[in-house]
């Protein structure tokens, strides 16, 4: 199924974008992407979206903890609303060196949290990939087999 991802800086703008996309494309999956953790939480609490893409670029890790943008509170909200968590392939493909390693480590942390809470995940982005390649990437990053079978 095709998906559409919207981005916004404020909650009102995000709400308006999601409503317009629901009217224009009623059969497609609607997702939301943002770097702002508080905005992600508000969207999960109040809006009806199919998946939430947590962007990893531009984040700073703390000394003893990674800042992956996803925590157990967001996981419980996503489970309650039957929302998938999205992984942006464009971030992985376009990054290089240390940045790519940090992004993959944050994604791996999010996968562990999703597996613990029995959440489904989804790969999205403009780069087209084969289903087998995405399943293999998911397995390498630590996804359980039940999660890789529900990636699409």
What residue spans of the chain are helical by DSSP H? 11-24, 37-46, 72-81, 89-94, 98-116, 131-140, 145-149
Average pLDDT, the chain: 89
Q: 128, exposed or middle or buried, with CB in 10 Å at 0-12, 13-18, 19+?
A: exposed
The domain 3-149 having CATH identifier 3.20.20.140: the answer here is: yes
DSSP-derived 3-state class of residue 21? helix
Q: Which residue has the tokens 């404020």?
A: 10
Q: What is the mean pLDDT of the segment spanning 128-145?
A: 90
pLDDT single digits (tens) 41-78: 999 999 999 999 988 887 887 877 888 889 899 999 99
Domain ranges of the chain: 3-149
**Residue-level pLDDT at 40:** 92
DSSP-derived 3-state class of residue 33? strand
**What are 41's two structure tokens?**
């939480």
Distance (Å, whole) CA 135 – CA 152: 10
**Residue-level pLDDT at 129:** 82
List the beta bridge partners of residue 29: 3
Nearest to 85 by CA among 9, 16, 143, 19: 143
């Amino acid at each position: 199924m095709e998906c559409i991802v919207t981005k916004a800086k404020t909650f009102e703008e995000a709400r308006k974008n999601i409503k317009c996309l629901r009217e224009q494309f009623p059969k497609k999956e609607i997702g939301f992407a943002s770097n702002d953790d508080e905005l992600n939480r508000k969207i999960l609490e109040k809006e009806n979206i199919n998946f939430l893409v947590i962007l990893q670029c531009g984040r700073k890790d703390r000394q003893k903890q990674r800042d992956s943008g996803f925590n157990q509170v967001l996981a419980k909200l996503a489970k309650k609303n039957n929302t998938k968590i999205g992984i942006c392939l464009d971030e992985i493909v376009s990054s290089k060196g240390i940045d790519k390693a940090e992004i993959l480590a944050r994604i791996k942390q999010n996968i562990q949290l999703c597996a613990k809470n029995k959440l489904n995940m989804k790969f999205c982005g403009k780069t087209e990939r084969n289903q087998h390649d995405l399943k293999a990437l998911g397995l390498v990053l630590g996804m359980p087999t039940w999660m890789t079978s529900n990636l699409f």
